[in-house]
Amino acid sequence: MLTVATWNINGVKARIDSLTKWLEESAPDVVCLQEIKSQDETFPTEAVERLGYNVATHGQKGFNGVALLSKRPLEDITCRLPGDEEDEHARWIEATVSTDTGAVRVVSLYLPNGNPVDSPKFGYKLAWMDRMLAHAGELLATDEPIVLAGDYNVIPEPMDARHPDRWVDDALFQPESRSRHRALVNLGYLDAQRAVDRSEGIYTFWDYQAGAWQKNNGIRIDHIMLSPFAADRLESVTVEKHTRGWTKPSDHVPVMVTLDV
Predicted model pTM: 0.97
Quickly count: other Cβ atoms within 10 Å of residue 210's Cβ: 9
Q: Which of 134, 171, 168, 129 is nearest to 150 (CA)?
A: 129
Residue 123's Cα: distance from chain center in Å? 21
Q: Which of 236, 259, 255 is nearest to 244 (CA)?
A: 255
Q: Annotated binding residues, as ranges?
A: 8, 35, 151, 153, 251-252
Scanning 155-227, the segments in alpha helix (DSSP H) are 175-187, 192-196, 212-215
Residue 220 · residue 156 · CB < 8 Å: yes
User: Residue 100's pLDDT is what?
Assistant: 87
Residue 215 · residue 204 · CB < 8 Å: no
Each of the 261 residues of the chain gets a pLDDT tens digit; together they read 999 999 999 999 999 999 999 999 999 999 999 999 999 999 999 999 999 999 999 999 999 999 999 999 999 999 999 999 999 999 999 999 999 888 999 999 999 999 999 999 999 999 999 999 999 999 999 889 999 999 999 999 999 999 999 999 999 999 999 999 999 999 999 999 999 999 999 999 999 999 999 999 999 999 999 999 999 999 999 999 999 999 999 999 999 999 999
User: Residue 20's pLDDT is what?
Assistant: 98
Amino acid at 153: N
User: Residue 101's pLDDT is what?
Assistant: 85
Residue 11 · residue 245 · CB < 8 Å: no
Q: Return the active site residues.
A: 110, 151, 252
Q: Annotated binding residues for Mg(2+), as ranges?
A: 8, 35, 151, 153, 251-252
DSSP helix/strand/coil, 213: helix
Length of the chain: 261
Give me the domains of the chain, ranges plus CATH numbers: 2-259 (3.60.10.10)
**DSSP secondary structure letter of residue 100:** S
Residue 4's Cα: distance from chain center in Å? 10
**DSSP secondary structure letter of residue 188:** T
Cis ω before 156 (30° cut-off from 0)? no
